[in-house]
Every structure is written in C-alpha cells, then in structure tokens.
Amino acid sequence: EELQLRLLRSHACGVGEPYPDEIVRAAMLLRANALAKGTSGARVETVELLLACLDRGVLPVVPSRGSVGASGDLAPLAHLALPLVGEGEAFLDGERVPGIEALTRAGLEPVRLEAKEGLSLINGTQFMAAFAALGLVRARRLARAADLACAQSVEALQGSRTSFLPQIHALRPLRGQVDSAANVLRLLEGSAIIESHRWCDKVQDAYSLRCAAQVHGASRDLFDYVDYTVSVELNAATDNPLVLVDEGALVSNGNFHGQPLAFALDALAMAAAELASISERRVERLVNPNLSDGLPAFLTSDGGLNSGFMIPQYVAASLVSENKVLAHPAS
C-alpha cells in the first residue's frame, strides 16, 4: 500500500488554477469507465468509490497545468486519485477542503490501494478525452448556430439563396458542405425578404454569404473526424501495463499516448475558429454602410453619439484574432 501511495504522491505535481468542475466530473466518469473494462487490474470497490464521489459531489482539486499528453494525463489523474485514499484536496458543496474531510462529510471511507491500483488510477487520457468530448458537443452546437446566423445575414443583406441549392452541392458532395447548405436553405424557406429580392440586379453575393456552406461544411467534416476519435477513446483501455485476462498476461504497451486526441483537439480548435472568422466577416458587412445594401450605418438610426453595433463588431474582430493564436497546433 505504501508503494501505491508514494506513486500517487510523486506524480501529483500539477500547478495552476484547478480545472473547471465539468472537466473533472467528465474525467472521473471516463476513468471509472476505463477501469470497469477489467483490463487495468483495479478492484471493483475502487471503481465504486470513484463513482460514489462523483455521485455525492466530491470533486478532486486538479491543477490545470502539468500534462503533456505523451504519457497520458499522469499528473492530473494523480490529483484525481489522491482524495480516494484520503489525501490531496477536493471541492464539496463549493468549499475546498482536505480530501479526507471531503470523504468523511460525504459519508465515504478512503480505499486502501492494493497491487497495481496506483498505476491503474493515474494511467490514461481521460482529461484529454473530457476536453474533446465536451468541446465537440459545444462545437456542433456552434455549427448549427453559425448556419442560423448565416441565414439571418442573407436575409438582412438581401442575399440570394441560390448558392445553397442542393444541385450545386451534389457536384461537390462533401458531407458537411451538403448538410450545412441544406440547413441554411431550410432556414430560408418561405422567407418573404428573400422573395422580394428575387429579381434584383446583384450578380453574386460576397464570399462570407456565398461560400458559407463550404466553410461551415469544412468545419463540420472536421467535427466528424473528432467524433470518430473521441467515440473510440471514451470506451478504450488506455492503462499501462494492461491485464489480458484471457491470455493470463500482464503486458507493457503505449495505449496511454495522447497523439490521436492531440490531433483531434487541434482540428477541433481550428474548425471552431473558422466558424467565428466567417461569422465576423458577415457582421462587418452588416455594420458597414458601404457593404450593407442600405442598412443604417452601424445598425443604428441615431448615429453620432450612438455607435450602434460598431463596438461589438470590433470586439468580434479582436476575438477572431485571438482565436487564431489559440488554434495554433500543440500536437
């Protein structure tokens, strides 16, 4: 048992502000799921204590800096495991307390680790997978919101719906592009504003409108790639060594390596950032009287003292620039 405790303590070297609660909860669930596969050499009661902590709101304090991913999430997972043995710190009812106090107040007792369980608790990619899974859910939501914002912009800027016709996208049948175009076209269905400009003399719309399905669709396709990687990872065995029960073998391996998730997370960041980039360009057209087809400057009828939506537009431009920095690959 002392060897297991020394292992946990030596790896709990993270620094910085704690991870958000939602990330820690997700990592706890994923860690329990990985151990429950039966290839990590952990006892049932250890997994049950992890789930009981999750159920009763005992959330380990896990510093947000310390993992490079190549060895999985060793440092964060060590911090995640310490409260299980009555050490480290945990949040309970919003209060940061010693791990043993959190367990006691929640009516739980620390587990006494046996052979292999220290390694079983710290090996894996659960924090990376938690970020990827939660990020993917939000990114998919953003993709739908981007289509909606685009449709509204097409209406406001007296654009054409023809660039979203399915016949066009059938000639370049990338799945995300086809889906995005169909979504925008559905949102514009029956629009009286669009219909009133059927015979206008405009030759074609700006890229931010006309190419929206292509840009949104490319992001959607990357989200699908992330989905594939994350869906596999959520139910994978990423421990080292692994216990192969049927073969009666304990084998050293590299399933803990985070490269698949690292690539996926970089792709997720780039794809989400591009949704913001093209959306900001549409906002610019809406507020710029030289580009907005007769809309009031800065979308306000009381110019001068009232800057209207000028400030939100340049805040958006600032955030887009920051996104590009944050989307620089770390993999």
Q: How far apart are CA 215 and CA 274, in angstroms?
A: 7
Q: What is the pLDDT of residue 197?
A: 67
pLDDT at 303 over 90: no
CB 85 within 8 A of CB 114: no
Predicted confidence band of residue 305 (pLDDT cuts 50, 70, 90): confident
> Per residue in 220-266, pLDDT tens?
999 999 999 999 999 999 999 999 999 999 999 999 999 999 999 99
Q: Is the pLDDT higher at 300 or at 198?
A: 300
Band (pLDDT 50/70/90 cuts) for residue 301 is: confident
pLDDT over 70 (residue 9): yes
Q: Is residue 138 very low, low, confident or very high in pLDDT (cuts 50, 70, 90)?
A: very high
